[in-house]
Chains A and B, each alone.
Chain A
Amino acid sequence: DAGVIQSPRHEVTEMGQEVTLRCKPISGHDYLFWYRQTMMRGLELLIYFNNNVPIDDSGMPEDRFSAKMPNASFSTLKIQPSEPRDSAVYFCASSHRLDRTQPQHFGDGTRLSIL
């Protein structure tokens, strides 16, 4: 089985540009999570979806960030306009069901650098 697939693996862009990160969850997984990892703040949950519907976006830092899941096999995280403080590694994870015993499966992440 293929794992969670993220693209691109690395993104370098200039401040003010729009950035789109992509994620394909594991087939059959109903839950999708977006995380951000930085040295200062560690791993932060940004938003998660159930059956393509956003359930909790309380971790989204501000209006410049938006996430969508148009179908069960694809999600995007968009930053517009991007700022240098958005530089981080962004992870997508998926889970079969959301109960306390189920682990989440992570992609390899997108390393984002905003110049």
Chain B
Amino acid sequence: DGGITQSPKYLFRKEGQNVTLSCEQNLNHDAMYWYRQDPGQGLRLIYYSQIVNDFQKGDIAEGYSVSREKKESFPLTVTSAQKNPTAFYLCASSLPVQDTEAFFGQGTRLTVV
């Protein structure tokens, strides 16, 4: 089945730790995105990538980093510089054109302990 797989579903981070969230897609999409969702708020864009080896900051990139070494994969690292990382993180992909449907993974819930 084609789709987007995020792992793990739940992740716990200690203060000062970096953690990496995985996102893999087999839809052959060039564009991939990372969003953060907080209660009562809309999704906010962290980073996006239109093509392999290229990515751009979204609205809330501080404290996060990404890589795009393969078309299928777009991992997100939440660094210790992110002061309030507890949130629900969603990965999405689409064709690299601006009028196409976006598809989402099932999300990773990150909690700081």
A and B interact physically: no
